[in-house]
A and B are shown apart, each in its own frame.
Chain A
Amino acid sequence: MRKYAVVVLFVALCGLKIPVALAQDTTLTIRAIEGLKYDVPRFVVRPGTRVHLTLDNYDDMAHNLVVTLPNSRLRVVNTSLALGDQAVKLNYVPRTPDVVAHTATVDPGKSEKISFVLSQDGIYSYVCTYPGHGFVMYGVIYVTRRPATVPPLDKDPNVAANRKDDMAGHAGHMPDHPYDLKYPAVYRTFMPDSGPASIAVGLTPKQAYCWDAGSCRLRYAWTGGFIDQSDHWDGNGKKPTHVVGDVYFRDQGGFSIRFGTADRLPEVHFKGYKLINRYPEFRYTVNGIEVRELIKPLPTGRGLVRHFSLGAVSGPVYFACKSGDGVKYRPSVGKIQDGMVRLPVGTRNFTITMTAE
């Protein structure tokens, strides 16, 4: 069989893959991706084209790909659900004339290539008939000589709903919650450039910080917005949350509080937080001594005021505030020397004011 070099045009705006018009053979790869989706929502071929299709499973569960005749996708899916004990052996594919071609069950990380010819004009489907997948995981093949007649992606009734959402942008006009978010706002989420047990706090809609509950410390702060969690909320949560705005402070020095000596990092444990007028007051222990930390925005300008309360400490207490992390430090007590404040003995409450440079 002769093979033609195939150029695949990707029309980004409408998400349409149109193989070159004169080709009698066409080759494409469709990935099964997380969230019960094929990465290609639809494609167009001319009648009589031989399609060499590879299903590449990028997901963490098994999938197949079944090409079905026009108007038969749901029938095939429902028939596949009735296969009973034959299902696994048949790769969840019913033996009916509705099925044009199909792969076997493709395990995560594996791929399989199939070839088939669609000679008649029509709107065909490809669908995963693995149990539970068929009603959401599918795509559409337009077999036509007139690709211009294909509707725009967001108006295409044949494309899977979960693919249309993606193309229409993040959640569109859907609200995040059944209420308007109030500030200060606290989210436990996967934050970039921090430990996996982090807390995003929006002080105002335009001022925010990231606090790491694993290492019990402020990691960075930004202005201009809060966070965008739509990627993280989508599917099974693989992607981290995004910071919205400009980061002006990023901690460089590690954990700030030192007991006894200035150079020894203490052992810390996160104990939770209490909301005070919606501001979280973090609680943690440092070498067994309880510390509370409440962070507020500067009344004007970019910066934070960090209020600390300490349990009873014997011996000196230091607070590291190295320069070069984007802010100027001003302690309420003591003086900064070599990037370190030595607190007066017996200090139980103090503030550190951080002003963006």
Chain B
Amino acid sequence: MKTTTTSLIGTRMTRIGRIKRILIYLFLSVLSVSSAFPSKNFPADTITDYYEVETIQMPKGLTAETDGLAIMPDGRIVAGFHRGEIMMYNPKTKTWKLFAEGIHDPLGIMAVSNSEILVMQRPELTRIKDTNGDGVADEYLTVTDDFGLSGNYHEFAFGPVKDKQGNLFIALNCASNGAGIFPEVRGKLDTLGRPGRMYSAVPYRGWIMKLTPDGKLHPYASGFRSPNSIGFDANGNLFASDNQGDWLGTSKLYHVQEGKHYGHPASLLWKEGFPHITPIKLPVKMLDSLRTVESVAFPHSRIADSPTQPVLDNTGGRFGPFVGKMLVGEMNHPYLVRLMLETVDGHIQGACAPFLVGSGLRKGNNRLAFAADGSLWIGQTDHGWAGDRGIQHVRWKGKVPLELADMKLTPTGFALTFTQPLDAVTAKQVANFQFKRYYYEYHEAYGSKQFDVQPVAVSNAELSADGKTVTLKLSELKAGYIYELELGKLRSTTQQSLLNHLVCYTLNRLQRNTQANP
């Protein structure tokens, strides 16, 4: 099956290549008109007009379940695989070379220098270094192993990411009741942590940890189920994605702050000063009151089933019009998720939308890294779940598609800013903005249905003078709901059609000056 898919993609890529060449000629001939799609009869543009996806040839014999991926200072791609290989890919020569072996699930890699990397593997954060200059690692030194390990297969470890002060952050997955624990564990075993679907029987499963430059590992924030993975935004805020399951009605992205708890109760067992009890036995209302809610909820099967690493577009515009914003990988869909965050009433919240749909991107998008040239490298895995295997490389082709660039809450509705000026007629039709709202319940059972699903009418749509921003007035705005917006067939004045029509805004808080019924 895999072979068939690959060859189909291969054919499509060749075809796209040919179309691309034809398009380039066309563009050259119409450049003087200064619009990308001047003719109304010109075929509708697609994402492949703006982004190209290259599938990297993997070494023969490699089971390419890509765990971790990073960019070396010299531009090589370093990737870790499920069977313990850490390999370097030279994009110029398109060749692979083995760097290190025998790592237990290298789910996170950070480049230190051209001969040294940090690797988050199951048992430790390890500094792996080539000390004799032969291009192969010979030193594997422990940076930290100061966390528990029960032998449960679901105790993955993610990160590291580094803040501006030089602290490293790692994230520790809970164990799963799909299996037990080893007769011997590392760290203190507490059987009160065993009940529950995802559990934390050794410290600090379900926590994000901070490693200070003195080498000490500190518990930082709790309440995570499967935090694959973590990343910073442009302002240095730390974010973690978490996966739908018990206590997560749908998948989420949290703004992680020191000392806070984010809702999956198992980890509370290891919170200093917390009563020595099985946390899930506390009343749901009490657990609910202890948690900090997510910045973004990813509606299940609509946006994401299994979100992965958040990564900041810090390319200075070399990856297209979404610079300064974050992308999140997604395992079960052949696309990424694009975030549009803002601070409302002192808290970060915002919108998410599918990105690169139909580009030739596969599923299993587990790790994302921007190279110095502004292109995006994506490591893919399935790891026994849904996904694909291998590495793909995404380049922006230089033209700006018509996409929603930003979504901001206003006291009366939302302001939508697009990448191109909109055709005024369609942009002012309220029928082109179909809202509904709903919420997911916080409870122990796996996942949640959508509660209180209601359409929300748009009473007015105004277009800004520059044609890029539509300000929508909604009949009702309510905190605690996800606002799902289906955009109609909007067009730009450059005759481009809107590529993605779905966006979901997590409305935790209203603007301070919001009226009850705007």
Determine if chain A interacts with chain B. yes
Q: Which residues of B contact A263 (CB under 8 A)?
A: none
- Candidates A60, A62, A199; contact of B178 at CB < 8 Å: A60
- Candidates B153, B363, B447; contact of A237 at CB < 8 Å: B153
A 238-294 contacts with B by CB, 8 A: 238, 240, 269-276, 280, 283
B149:A197 contact, CB within 8 angstroms: yes
Describe B's contact surface by its main secondary structure: loop
Nearest opposing residue in chain A for B58, CB measure: A178
Cα–Cα distance between A89 and B438 once the two chains are bound (Å): 14
Q: Which residues of B contact A44 (CB under 8 A)?
A: none
- Candidates A35, A175, A271, A275; contact of B384 at CB < 8 Å: A35
Q: A36-B384, A131-B305, A195-B186 are in contact. Are A187 and B102 (CB under 8 A)?
A: yes
Q: With an 8 A cutoff between CB atoms, is B374 at the interface?
A: no
Q: With an 8 A cutoff between CB atoms, is B349 at the interface?
A: no
A60:B331 contact, CB within 8 angstroms: no
Closest chain A CB from B2 CB (angstroms): 8
Q: With an 8 A cutoff between CB atoms, is A234 at the interface?
A: yes
Q: A87-B301, A178-B96, A270-B145 are in contact. Are A195 and B102 (CB under 8 A)?
A: no
> Which of B124, B151, B300 has most A Cβ within 10 Å?
B151
Q: A60-B154, A88-B301 are in contact. Are A179 and B61 (CB under 8 A)?
A: yes
Q: Which residues of B contact A236 (CB under 8 A)?
A: 153-154, 383-385
Q: With an 8 A cutoff between CB atoms, is B218 at the interface?
A: no
Tell me the count of chain A residues lying within 8 A, CB to CB, of chain B.
Answer: 60
A196:B182 contact, CB within 8 angstroms: yes
Cα–Cα distance between A77 and B122 once the two chains are bound (Å): 35
Q: With an 8 A cutoff between CB atoms, is B162 at the interface?
A: no
Q: Which residues of A contact B83 (CB under 8 A)?
A: 176-177, 229, 233
Pick out which of these stretches binds chain B: A132-140, A302-310, A313-321, A328-336. Answer: A132-140
Q: A108-B446, A213-B124 are in contact. Are A195 and B385 (CB under 8 A)?
A: no
User: A residues engaging B (CB < 8 A)?
Assistant: 34-36, 58-62, 84-85, 87-89, 92, 107-109, 131-133, 135-136, 161, 174-179, 185-190, 194-197, 199, 213-214, 229, 233-238, 240, 269-276, 280, 283
Query: Can you report 13 A-B residue pairs in the complex whose CB atoms are below 8 A from each other?
Result: A60-B197, A108-B177, A108-B446, A132-B332, A133-B386, A177-B61, A185-B101, A187-B104, A196-B151, A197-B122, A237-B383, A238-B153, A271-B141
User: B residues engaging A (CB < 8 A)?
Assistant: 1-2, 59-63, 82-85, 87, 96, 98, 101-105, 121-124, 126-127, 137-142, 145, 149-151, 153-154, 176-179, 182, 184-186, 197, 245, 300-302, 305, 331-333, 363, 383-387, 436, 445-447, 449-450, 484
Sample of 7 further A-B pairs with CB below 8 A, known A62-B446, A188-B103, A213-B145: A62-B447, A131-B332, A187-B84, A187-B104, A237-B153, A270-B142, A280-B140
